Structure 1
Amino acid sequence: MPSSSVDHSDPVFELHRGGKLAVASTVPLTSREDLSLAYTPGVAKVCEAIAADPELVDDYTWVSHTVAVVTDGSAVLGLGNIGPRAAMPVMEGKAVLFKQFGGVDAVPICLDTQDVDQIVATVVALAPSFGGINLEDISAPRCFEIERRLDELLPIPVFHDDQHGTAIVVLAALRNAATLLNRKLGDLRVVVSGAGAAGVAVTRMLAAGGVNPGEIVVCDSRGVLHPDREGLTPVKAELAEFTNAARCQGGITDALRGADVLIGVSGGQIPEQAVAGMAPGGIVFALANPTPEVHPDVAGRHVAVVATGRSDFPNQINNVLAFPGIFRGALDARATRITDNMKVAAADAIASVVAENLTADAIVPSPLDPRVAPAVAEAVLDAARRDGVARA
């Protein structure tokens, strides 16, 4: 029975009633001949062919255009650990975006376990049904191990969108912001506020995309990461080793003093005086949603370019710019994995869509721009072939 706490007149609930997905047949089933071809006896012929040559599964089933969207419900949006059932509306939404923007079929799978071993074993067991695995809303640090292990075990792409989707769009936006301001990525001093899944991936992606890693300073809730700081997790200790060459210490205000770029992926609030201490002509990406680390209007008093994760401000850093095209390209390539070069190629493609018409309020395309996913897919496909991970 519906909960009495739900306002059934709210259009949000009305849109979600019955879910946002359905299964539809792609073949006719109107005659006995149709049935004999789609099911018995005809289907046995296809089964025997795939048994003899397993790669034919890509040609004669949905595997080549379908991904699993997998979560354990431990880090859903800004809602936290709300569990698998409450995560389902988000996973359905993700699947709808895959189809709408990338032409990729996607199946939401919400697992009733948060044990790393069980998640890995379950996804490995499910993998023959899919051409790729999109991990979603799994909390750090478990998400790092889950992705790493699945990437090693499976012959298909595994992609944790909360990490890499965000990082790819951030790199695209930073490329265009730097171009607009007549700056080079390699000359920028960047502060990343947040050392969770997104912060780690953003840091690594910026380094792969041309930012000098020694000029990146990463902060968590306890302050700046540096090798001498006690109590660092293995992931944070690794970040500390290859970033922050000047060995800056202290808090976010210390890190931002003289910095060119602030990338907020933490949800923690950053005071205006800290942003005021940045170098002139700065860039702020305050991506916490719904409450940015620093309000865009406040940041705009002190820097030249501002982006957020929200749709009601200019320059929305939205993962939908990345993941549909990335999986479309990876599936078209029948890639065995998604490489760093494929991610950088995706960022370059996103940036290129608006490169000829840059303004301070338009450094990334609209999430609804129909040019984005095809451009990303083509770039990812080409990169997969260059990296030798394509089977097509």
Structure 2
Amino acid sequence: MDETSRVSDQEALLFHAQGKPGKIEITPTKPLITQRDLSLAYSPGVAVPCLAIAEDPERAYDFTAKGNLVAVISNGSAVLGLGNLGAVASKPVMEGKAVLFKRFADVDGIDLEVDSQDVDEIVNCVRFLGASFGGINLEDIKAPECFIIEQRLREEMSIPVFHDDQHGTAIIAMAGLINALDLTGRDLKSIRMVVNGAGAAGIACAELVKAMGVPHENVVLCDSRGVIYQDREDGMNQWKSAHAVATESRVLADAMKGADVFFGLSMKGALTPEMVADMADKPIIFAMANPDPEITPEEVAAVRDDAIMATGRSDYPNQVNNVLGFPYIFRGALDVRATTINDDMKIAAAEALAALAREDVPDEVAAAYPGERQHYGPDYIIPAPFDPRLISDIPPAVAQAAMDSGVARRPIFDLEGYRNQLRARLDPIAGPLQGIFDRVRAEPRRVVFAEGEEERVIRAAVAFGQAGYGLPILVGKSDVIHGVMDSLGLGQPPGIEIVDPATSERGEAYTDFLYRRLQRRGVLQRDCRRMVSVFRTVFAACMVAQNDAHAMIAGLTRSYTEVYEDIRSVLDPKPGYRP
């Protein structure tokens, strides 16, 4: 395990006890400094919104925090992998969930620990308290009670109810599966899949992959007693029965023969190297048991060199981490006041996550994860949790799906404006900068990047083009630049121009221009020709001088003085300005 991830019991206890105990507090959003403030915040002023809400309950979204408030609810019957610890012992986890809601999506979460193991009592408790919240996140409730509780609450409440242990895991795993299939040249309708573990997460995964197109008969669900096949009676319930298939396989080892995909949501050691060896070519193995996976990447690598793996751990590539899902799913659902979180919204979230992993990885992510820079490929099929684009990519996809499926009560008509608002939620300078960005997009420019063969320059140019700021022009050898792009997993992004000074059709014109400027300094024409064809900063400056580009960027690989002297040989400073 990565040493930075290792913590002692004493460290964990101290972290939760130091300062104010716990991890959350309530902070007011209105000033409370003067007597007038007090009169507005409480009596008598507070009576006015009360009357308005009594007349129209929907006004609660306008005058209270309801629209941004999610209840994180557990009875402690399945806390992490620790079992039934009881309601109060689950509180540190529920507080942690509330912190993640706030940190990643600016959603306010309040933890409610229900001290009951009775389904009816839990349902009634949540239902009666539901008027306070914009959404309900169920957590760490054991199966099969979790299925019953979620289903009943979804039927009886008109706000989103989401059991993250089920659907969060399924959505993130599905995002990874989409990309693993892309990398191995498969499609959902043709794969054979084994899901090991028939608890909350396992059944949710089976349901979601079928909703996305995998045929029912192509998914074999297994539990601790073996394959769930038609007419099996031992250890069955209605949720398992829904996934029973006609098969001769009776144990996991039988089901794994020739399988394309394995989803593990069970226990350490459930999958053996021998089973992996029996899988189809280019197997996809998601061993998601925590804290120890069904099989480790090292064990898989010992028998297969063509496998794509994901686990639930942060010290291996492709972590299936629910924090990639629930904050952003609720953000999108709350912002359109969705009445539920349906399959369309889950699929939209999975597809948006998969698409994000295929994009270039920004510098913020590279800084958060030291080591080799990540890019789309077998070791990077799921976005990193600290990718700043998650907040602006996932909620709009969820919101759009809610609107398309008819469960949104407050549609969003300007999705681009919504994305900008989402960025500003977590970045205080995003709002002011957005006005500048919009003006730049309104008048896109041709910008030449002089050191066009450098990895960081290529990434910047791609980001510049994808943001819609203008046309990036890379100066360098085409084969070198394309080779770097391929090594970064960028492919051949559209909207980028590559210019090689040694072969450019404009080289002669630039040479003549430069010679006219420098001949009185004793510079020969052949010297100018060499400067244009060899010195990329000179070539880029000539592009600006001859109106082939509006601006240039240089200075990554050479000193300021060297770059400035090259540019000064081509361009003069603007009168009245000092460089």
Q: TM-score, normalised by structure 1?
A: 0.95
- Aligned with 2:46: secondary structure? helix
| 1:275 aligns to 2:272 (yes or no) | no
Whether the 8 Å CA contact 2:216–2:243 is kept in 1: the answer is no
Match of 2:239 in 1: 235
State the 1:304 CA deviation. 1.8
What is the Cα deviation at residue 14 of structure 1? 1.7
Partner of 1:259: 259
Determine the C-alpha separation between the residues in 1 that align with 2:45 and 2:301.
64
**Which letter does structure 2 place at the counterpart of 1:95?**
A
Match of 2:131 among 87, 104, 128: 128
CA distance in 2, matches of 1:8, 1:187: 46
Cα distance per residue 1:179-226 (max 9 Å; x no partner):
111211222111000111011100000011122222111110111111
* Whole-angstrom CA distance in 2 between matches of 1:289 and 1:368: 21
Structure 2 distance, partners of 1:316, 1:8, is 22
Looking at structure 2, the residues matched to 210 and 172 of structure 1 have their Cα atoms a distance apart, in angstroms, of 14
Match of 2:73 in 1: 70
Q: Which runs of 5+ in 1 are unaligned?
A: 1-6
In structure 2, C-alpha distance between the alignment counterparts of 1:298 and 1:282, rounded to whole Å: 14
The answer on 1:175 being equivalent to 2:178 is: yes
Residue 146 (structure 1) aligns with:
149
Change (3 A) 1:9 1:390: closer
Residues 191 and 256 in structure 1, CA contact (< 8 A), matched pair in contact too:
yes
Identity %: 52
Cα deviation, residue 374, structure 1: 2.6
Which residue identity does 2:100 align to in structure 1? L
- The question of 1:381 aligning with 2:394 is answered no
Q: Which whole-Å CA distance do the structure 1 matches of 2:409 and 2:233 have between them?
A: 45
2:242 alignment partner, SS class: helix
Q: Show CA shifts across 1:307-337 (max 9, x none).
A: 0000010000011111000000000010001
- Return the match for 1:59 from 42, 58, 62: 62
Once the two structures are superposed, the pairs formed by residues 99-110 of structure 1 within 5 Å of their partners are 99-110=102-113
2:286 pairs with 1:285: yes
2:12 counterpart residue number: 12
1:20-41 deviation line (CA, Å, top 9, x unaligned):
0001011111101111111111
- Aligned partner of 1:3 in structure 2 is none
TM-score (norm 2): 0.65
1:164 to 157, 162, 167: 167
Contact 2:80 2:140 in 1 (8 A): yes
When residues 8 and 385 of structure 1 are mapped into structure 2, their CA distance, relative to the original with a 3 A threshold, is closer
* CA contact 1:171–1:209 (8 Å) conserved in 2: no
Structure 1 position 377, deviation (Å): 0.6
Q: Are the equivalent residues in 2 in contact too, given 1:286–1:306 (CA < 8 A)? A: yes
What are the Cα deviations for residues 238-293 of structure 1, in whole angstroms up to 9, with x where unaligned? Answer: 111xxx45x14211110000001110001152221111110111010000011101
Q: Which residue among 18, 39, 43 is the counterpart of 1:40?
A: 43
Structure number with larger C-alpha Rg: 2
Any unmatched runs of 5+ in structure 2?
1-6, 360-374, 411-579
Q: Secondary structure at the match of 2:61?
A: helix
Q: CA deviation at 1:104?
A: 0.4
The aligned counterpart of 1:362 is: 380
User: Is the contact made by 1:225 and 1:249 (CA closer than 8 Å) also made in structure 2?
Assistant: no
> In structure 2, what residue type is equivalent to 1:169?
I
Q: Deviation of residue 375 (structure 1)?
A: 1.3
The aligned runs of 1:208-247 (5 Å cut-off) are: 208-231=211-234, 232-240=236-244, 244=245, 247=247
SS in 2 for 1:239: coil
1:338 aligns with 2:341: yes
2:24 match: secondary structure: coil
Task: Specify the code of the residue in structure 2 equivalent to 1:128.
Answer: A
* Partner Cα distance (1:8, 1:291) in 2: 18
Tell me if the contact between 2:265 and 2:289 (Cα under 8 Å) persists in the aligned partners: yes
Q: What are the Cα deviations for residues 87-143 of structure 1, in whole angstroms up to 9, with x where unaligned?
A: 111001000000011110000111110100000000001101100000000000000
C-alpha distance 8-343 of structure 1, shift in aligned 2 (>3 A): closer
- Structure 2: which amino acid aligns with 1:222? R
Alpha-carbon spacing, 1:379–1:248, altered in 2? closer, same or farther (3 Å): farther
Corresponding residue number in structure 2 for 1:189: 192
Structure 1 window deviating more from structure 2 (372-381 vs 286-295): it is 372-381
What SS is found at the alignment partner of 1:280?
A: coil
- Kindly state the Cα deviation for residue 340 of structure 1 after the two structures are TM-superposed: 0.5
C-alpha distance 263-324 of structure 1, shift in aligned 2 (>3 A): same
Deviation, 1:9, is 8.4
Q: Give the Å deviation of 1:8.
A: 9.9
Q: Does 1:115 align with 2:118?
A: yes
Q: How many equivalent pairs are there?
A: 382
1:64-103 equivalences under 5 Å are: 64-103=67-106
Superposed CA RMSD in Å reads 1.4
| Distance across 1 between alignment mates of 2:382 and 2:135 | 26
3-state SS in 1 of match to 2:243: helix
Report how far residue 236 of structure 1 moved.
Answer: 0.8
- Per-residue deviation at 1:10? 2.4
Q: How far apart in 2 are the matches of 1:296 and 1:381?
A: 36
Give the 5 Å matches for 1:341-352.
341-352=344-355
Alpha-carbon distance in structure 2 between the residues aligned to 1:202 and 1:299: 22
In 1, the alpha carbon distance for the partners of 2:309 and 2:203 equals 21
Secondary structure of the residue that 2:222 maps to in structure 1? strand
Distance in 2, matches of 1:171 and 1:104, equals 24
SS of the residue corresponding to residue 10 of structure 1 reads helix
